[in-house]
Amino acid sequence: MNYLTHKLLNSEELEIIRKNLEKDSLEWEDGKLTAGKHAAKEKNNLQLRRDSDLSIKFSGLITKKILSNELIKSFSLPKKIHGTIFSKSKSGMKYGRHIDNAYMSSGRADLSFTVFLNCKKKYEGGALSIQGLNSEEKFKLDAGEIIIYPSTYLHSVEKVIDGERLVFIGWIESYVKSIEEREYLFDLDAAARSLLAKYGRSEEVDLIYKSYSNFLRRLGN
C-alpha cells in the first residue's frame, strides 16, 4: 500500500489548535453537507464551518506545515492542497466505506490526508481503515501525526465507541497523477539525498538529480 505517515505538528501547536476547537461558540455542522451523493449515505460526523475565522486561520497554519515538510513534498509532489476540514466524531459516529470524488470544486483529488489532533487514548474506536488491492490496514495515529494515501483507495472511519475523535482532513492535487510514477520519483529523490548526505556532492548525485528533474518535467501537469 502506497502511503506515508509522519509527525507534522508539535505539542505546542496541538495545544493551541485543540484549545481553540473546544470553544463553545464554534459552529459545527453536519458532515453530509460536504459529501458526495453516495458518500453522504455513509457519513455521520461533525465539521467546523470552512468559512469560519478559526477554520481559515488554522487550516492555513497546518497547510503551510505540510507544504514546508521536505519528506511530504517528496512523497506527494503537491501542486495544491484543498478542501480542508476540521472534523469531529462523537460516540456512535462513523463514516462507512467510500471513495473520495476525483474532482471537487476546489481541485482534483490525487491524495487524501488525515492529521490526528487528539490523543488516541482519548477515544475508543474511530480507526481509519484503508483498503488496498490485496489488503486492508487500520490507522489510529498519535496526536500531531499525518497519514497521506491515494484517493483512489476505498476507506472508512470506524464507529467511535467512546470519547471524541478530532482530525483535520484534506486533499492534495499532485503535479504527478500516477501512484507508480510518484513512487519512482520518491525513490530517486531518496537515493540522491542519501548519497549526498553520506558522500557529498558528486557526478553520480548530479546525474540522479538530472534524471529526477527531467522525469518530473515529463510527467508533471
- Residue 36: is its pLDDT beyond 90? no
Full domain range(s) for residue 195: 179-219
Q: Which of 124-128, 135-139, 163-167 has the lowest mean pLDDT?
A: 135-139
Q: How does pLDDT run across 170-199, given as a tens digit for each residue? A: 999 999 999 999 999 999 999 999 999 999
Q: Are 83 and 192 in a shared domain?
A: no
Q: Are 121 and 188 in a shared domain?
A: no
By the 10 Å C-beta count (0-12 exposed, 13-18 middle, 19+ buried), 193 is classed as middle
Q: What is the CATH number of the domain that holds 69?
A: 2.60.120.620
pLDDT of residue 76: 98
Mean local confidence (pLDDT), 103-111: 96
Q: Are 185 and 165 in a shared domain?
A: no
**Which residue, chain included where needed, has cell 471513495?**
99
Mean local confidence (pLDDT), 199-208: 93
The number of folded domains in the chain is: 2
Q: Which of 26-40, 88-102, 161-175, 204-218 has the lowest mean pLDDT?
A: 26-40
Q: Which of 139, 158, 174 corresponds to the end of one domain?
A: 174
Q: How does pLDDT run across 55-79, given as a tens digit for each residue? A: 999 999 999 999 999 999 999 999 9
More confident residue, 37 or 134: 134
Could you give the percent of the chain with pLDDT greater than 70?
100
pLDDT of residue 1: 59
